[in-house]
């Protein structure tokens, strides 16, 4: 009788596979909790499972399972009286009214990305995004995000929450005093401009984004108390005349587009800058062999199902910016969102 040389199968040995296999369950549990507003309700007052079920029209025995899972992930806790309350991480990131909230991006992930990812196999076969297949949308995909004021606010607030996590570290690549005026192309809610101006007291900034974004960006600038140093200008960075600056930043933008559109955009940026001007690129950078890190690789698949673009290596970005005419290139990896600085 032959002897199998492999060790006996065990849950530990299979854990990498089990974790990947069950990942969507964890995501959907969080998505549903945010969609139902559970964390917002618990912010008002601690509540029992029965109270929460009655408030939201849910089955008590079903809700108990979700709350138990959220507790196992250290998002909520049940006190000795049997009432649930938020833990600090939920207070910061999972309440809609928190200034650091990620709920907008969570809801966008649930209502948009979760559906697009269901068609990943078709995207792999055809090499194109899944918007028309899933939503029947034929217009600019970003029009879908701003179909209503509510959807616009939700999407932008989600991106703002992500920006608060990345912009302070990204801004560290900007040497204080080196540049006079920053123009953040597609700057969204002004999180990068705010972080850069706080780091460099002499820096002035303009956030350049679509007209529908302007009121939201202006609100965040006012809340930061930086109206005297940051202004918001409406426009389309592919077509309109850009604001004057000696430092241009683009964050989470190049990964949306094809190589030809990226080259066109970089050419516009190069022409807009004076000699010695800088370009700050903020993206998820792949390792040279494109086998890591896991987060940027998943984001590149996300670009496949959602946009025309992809994530790139530092060498690929360097090749693109040098082709546009830039002389120097520096990349700083941060583990969350990476920063690259090129000089004309």
- Catalytic annotation on 255? yes
pLDDT band at 80 (very low <50, low <70, confident <90, very high): very high
pLDDT digits 0-9 by tens, 243-260: 999 999 999 999 999 999
pLDDT band at 272 (very low <50, low <70, confident <90, very high): very high
CB 257 within 8 A of CB 186: no
DSSP state of 310: -
Name the active-site residue from 191, 220, 255, 284: 255
Architecture of domain 122-343: 3-Layer(aba) Sandwich (3.40)
pLDDT digits 0-9 by tens, 238-247: 999 999 999 9
* In the block, residue with structure tokens 């998002």: 75
Task: Decide if pLDDT at 99 tops 80.
Answer: yes
Domain ranges of the chain: 13-94, 122-343
Q: How far apart are CA 205 and CA 195, in angstroms?
A: 11
Task: Decide if pLDDT at 81 tops 80.
Answer: yes
Closest CA to 189 of 229, 164, 228, 160: 160
Task: Decide if pLDDT at 147 tops 80.
Answer: no
pLDDT band at 130 (very low <50, low <70, confident <90, very high): very high
pLDDT band at 141 (very low <50, low <70, confident <90, very high): low
> Check: CATH 1.10.10.10 for 13-94?
yes
Q: How many CB atoms lie within 10 A of CB 189?
A: 25
What number of helices (H) and strands (E) belong to the chain?
A: 16, 11
Arithmetic mean of pLDDT over the chain: 93
The SS3 assignment for 227 reads coil
pLDDT given at position 321: 98
Tell me the mean pLDDT in the region 111-116: 93
Q: Point out the least confidently predicted range of 11-25, 74-88, 214-228, 273-287.
A: 11-25
Q: How far apart are CA 187 and CA 320, in angstroms?
A: 21
pLDDT given at position 223: 95
Return the higher-pLDDT residue of 328 and 146. Answer: 328
Task: Decide if pLDDT at 286 tops 90.
Answer: yes
pLDDT given at position 157: 86
Q: What are phi and psi of 341, to 5 degrees?
A: -125, 125
pLDDT digits 0-9 by tens, 27-52: 999 999 999 999 999 999 999 999 99
pLDDT given at position 11: 81
């Amino acid at each position: 009788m032959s002897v199998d040389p492999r060790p006996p199968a065990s849950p530990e040995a299979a854990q990498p596979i089990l974790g990947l296999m069950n990942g969507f369950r964890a995501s959907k549990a969080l998505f549903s909790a945010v969609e139902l507003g559970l964390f917002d309700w618990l912010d008002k007052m601690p509540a029992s499972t029965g109270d929460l079920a009655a408030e939201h029209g849910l089955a008590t025995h079903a809700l108990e399972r979700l709350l138990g899972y959220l507790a196992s992930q250290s998002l909520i806790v049940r006190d000795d009286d049997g009432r649930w309350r938020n833990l600090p991480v939920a207070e910061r990131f999972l309440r809609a009214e928190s200034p650091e909230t990620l709920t907008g991006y969570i809801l966008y992930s649930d209502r948009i990305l979760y559906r697009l990812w269901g068609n990943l196999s078709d995207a792999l076969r055809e090499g194109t995004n899944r918007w028309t297949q899933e939503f029947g949308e034929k217009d600019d995909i970003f029009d879908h995000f701003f179909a209503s004021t509510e959807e616009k606010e939700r999407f932008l607030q989600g991106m703002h929450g992500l920006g608060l996590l990345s912009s302070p570290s990204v801004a560290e690549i900007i040497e204080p005093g080196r540049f006079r005026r920053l123009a953040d192309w597609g700057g969204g809610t002004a999180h990068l401009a705010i972080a850069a101006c706080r780091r460099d007291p002499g820096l002035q900034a303009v956030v350049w984004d679509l007209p529908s974004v302007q009121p939201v960006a202006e609100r965040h600038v006012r809340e930061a108390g930086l109206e005297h140093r940051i202004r918001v200008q409406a426009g389309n960075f592919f077509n309109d005349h850009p604001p004057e600056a000696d430092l241009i930043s683009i964050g989470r933008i190049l990964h949306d587009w094809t190589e030809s559109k990226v080259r066109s955009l970089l050419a516009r940026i190069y022409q807009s800058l004076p000699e010695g001007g800088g370009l700050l690129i903020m993206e998820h950078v792949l390792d040279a062999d494109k086998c890591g890190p896991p987060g940027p690789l998943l984001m590149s698949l996300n670009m496949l199902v959602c946009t025309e673009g992809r994530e790139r290596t530092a060498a690929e970005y360097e090749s693109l910016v040098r082709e546009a005419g830039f002389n120097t290139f520096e990349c700083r990896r941060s583990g969350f969102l990476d920063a690259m600085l090129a000089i004309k």
